[in-house]
């Protein structure tokens, strides 16, 4: 099946290919352990509902502790016998580059499969999922044979060497909103460094990562080096986190789950935990913004694309009082022009909310915001109910105070909280007045102010006169209760390598 790259100049042909893949009947999917597809040891499955129409898409294996233990044992055996860890970095590089090529070859198939599974609009999914994943594997493949050890400045007649060694078995737990992109952020550097991995996808968005594991074996990654176990976090996720044979745990998801993983680490082998726990990101617009219309357009996309289901979504809009009304009006106009609907239709800009429970939670946030005094300027309701799917209108709430629930809590939906401010100092205080610190945006034509804001905002990422779009060359990570550790960039390799000292008497 050709990819959209093949037919990027012919949208009608691309849509026909999308529609053909949409109708593909999906067979039930099993775990991927030791290079094979394996059913749950108890034979249990659970239904996967598509957010597009609320219908059953397929079934996946409902994992048990025994299933997860088998995957961990497979990964441990693969690491200990060195079938991957002791290969030369240049050999691992060749295989990971081949995997990147295979992902690109199957890009449209993977993108449509993912959209049917989690509801992201196809235009975003194609770029952010398979194409991003391919780029991530390629980036770390190219990097790994350029990582050098060091010679320490020791005393005479002593040679001190500092080696980078793979850690062992990595447990990775990834969310449903961008499973391939976030999965690749963790898998690619872990595998490049020579580790074995056990991956636990979200139970409601596992399909693309199961396919990725099959492609990995096709590319030449040895059996047992990458295993995927599906099922609930309460069962297989907990088993993974408590295992004495898992050396590192990497996770993207909720703060509540992150706390449990730290507890499980303490109860087991003190495995290192790297957690990305979401955010409530401020997007700050000053009255000296160079292009108000462009800022409003980018700000609308920053919260409403993928129905707001992005950890760095610009969900708090802080606008200087002098331009508040004009800017909000411009943003609302942009939001109204964004078409919500079937995420496999190239004409739509926004797809589905991932699940009925997420949709209900979003609507409840809107109701509570109104009770607390915020004003509804746009949206606030479920739409397209006749489709059976889970769709919500882009929602803008003004008059949101810093003490309000909508200001402080992560919604993870298409709901924007708007708050005015007067001074630069107030903007920094408002930006920093939540427990989160993942991402932020600043719009100003004053270069000195931009630097002051970057320094003053407690956040892992600060965008200036843009929002989103950073690539693999820079890290993504949070401060405060947005987590620790970093995905992306060469810094990510630090999580998956141990420093080993050799002290040699000459």
- Any idea which residues carry the catalytic annotation? 276
DSSP string, 461-487: EEEESS-S---TTS-B--SGGGBSS-B
SS3 347: coil
CA angle 35, 48, 96 (to 5 degrees): 35
Angle between helices 89-105 and 107-118 (to 10 degrees): 70
Q: How many residues in the chain?
A: 506
- Cα 414 to Cα 378: distance, rounded to the nearest angstrom: 11
Asked if residues 368 and 409 have their Cβ atoms less than 8 Å apart, the reply is no
The closest of 134, 173, 436 to 311, measured between CA atoms, is 436
Q: What is the CA radius of gyration of the chain?
A: 23
DSSP string, 171-224: EEE--SSSHHHHHHHHHHHHHHTT-EEEEE--TTS-HHHHHHHHHHHHHTPPTT
- Cα 183 to Cα 204: distance, rounded to the nearest angstrom: 15
Distances (CA, A) of 356 to 360, 387, 389: 6, 13, 8
């Amino acid at each position: 099946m050709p990819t959209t790259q093949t037919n990027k100049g012919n949208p009608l042909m691309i849509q026909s290919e999308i529609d053909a893949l949409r109708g593909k009947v999906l067979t039930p999917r099993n775990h991927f352990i030791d290079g094979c597809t394996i059913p749950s040891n108890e034979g249990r499955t659970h239904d996967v509902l598509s957010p597009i129409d609320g219908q059953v898409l397929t079934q996946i294996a409902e994992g048990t502790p025994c299933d997860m233990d088998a995957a961990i044992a497979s990964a441990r055996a693969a690491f200990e016998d060195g079938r991957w860890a002791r290969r030369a970095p240049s050999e691992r590089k060749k295989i990971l580059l081949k995997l990147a090529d295979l992902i690109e070859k199957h890009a449209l198939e993977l993108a449509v499969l993912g959209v049917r599974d989690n509801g992201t609009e196809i235009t975003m999914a194609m770029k952010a999922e398979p194409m991003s994943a391919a780029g991530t594997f390629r980036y770390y493949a190219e990097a790994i044979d350029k990582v050098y050890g060091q010679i320490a400045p020791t005393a005479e007649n002593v040679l001190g060497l500092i080696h980078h060694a793979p850690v062992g078995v990595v447990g990775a737990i990834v969310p449903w909103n961008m499973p391939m992109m976030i999965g690749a952020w963790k898998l690619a550097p872990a595998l490049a460094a020579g580790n074995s991995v056990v991956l636990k996808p979200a139970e409601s968005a596992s399909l693309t990562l199961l396919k990725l594991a099959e492609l990995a074996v096709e590319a030449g990654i040895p059996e047992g080096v990458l295993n995927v176990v599906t099922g609930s976090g309460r069962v297989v996720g907990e088993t993974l986190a408590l295992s004495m044979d898992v050396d590192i745990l990497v996770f993207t998801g909720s703060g509540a789950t992150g706390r449990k993983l730290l507890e499980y680490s303490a109860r087991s082998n003190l495995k290192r935990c790297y957690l990305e726990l979401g955010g409530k990101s401020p997007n700050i617009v000053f009255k000296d913004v160079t292009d108000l219309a462009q800022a409003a357009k980018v700000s609308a996309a920053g919260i409403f694309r993928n129905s707001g289901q992005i950890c760095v979504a610009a969900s708090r809009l802080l606008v200087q009082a002098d331009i508040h009304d004009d800017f909000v009006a411009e943003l609302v106009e942009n939001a109204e022009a964004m078409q919500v609907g079937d995420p496999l239709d190239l004409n739509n800009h926004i797809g589905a909310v991932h699940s009925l429970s997420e949709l209900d939670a979003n609507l409840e946030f809107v109701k509570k915001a109104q009770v607390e005094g915020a004003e509804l300027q746009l949206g606030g309701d479920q739409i397209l109910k006749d489709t059976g799917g889970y769709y919500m209108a882009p929602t803008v709430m003004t008059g949101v105070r810093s003490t309000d629930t909508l200001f402080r809590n992560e919604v993870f939906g298409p709901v924007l909280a708007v708050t005015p401010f007067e001074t630069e100092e107030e903007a920094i205080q408002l930006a920093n007045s939540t427990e989160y610190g993942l991402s932020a945006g600043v719009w100003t034509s004053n270069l000195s102010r931009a630097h002051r804001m970057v320094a003053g905002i407690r956040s892992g990422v600060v965008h200036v006169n843009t929002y989103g779009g950073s690539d693999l060359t820079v890290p993504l990570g949070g401060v405060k209760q947005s987590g620790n550790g970093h995905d992306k960039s060469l810094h990510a390799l630090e999580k998956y390598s141990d420093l080993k000292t050799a002290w040699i008497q000459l």
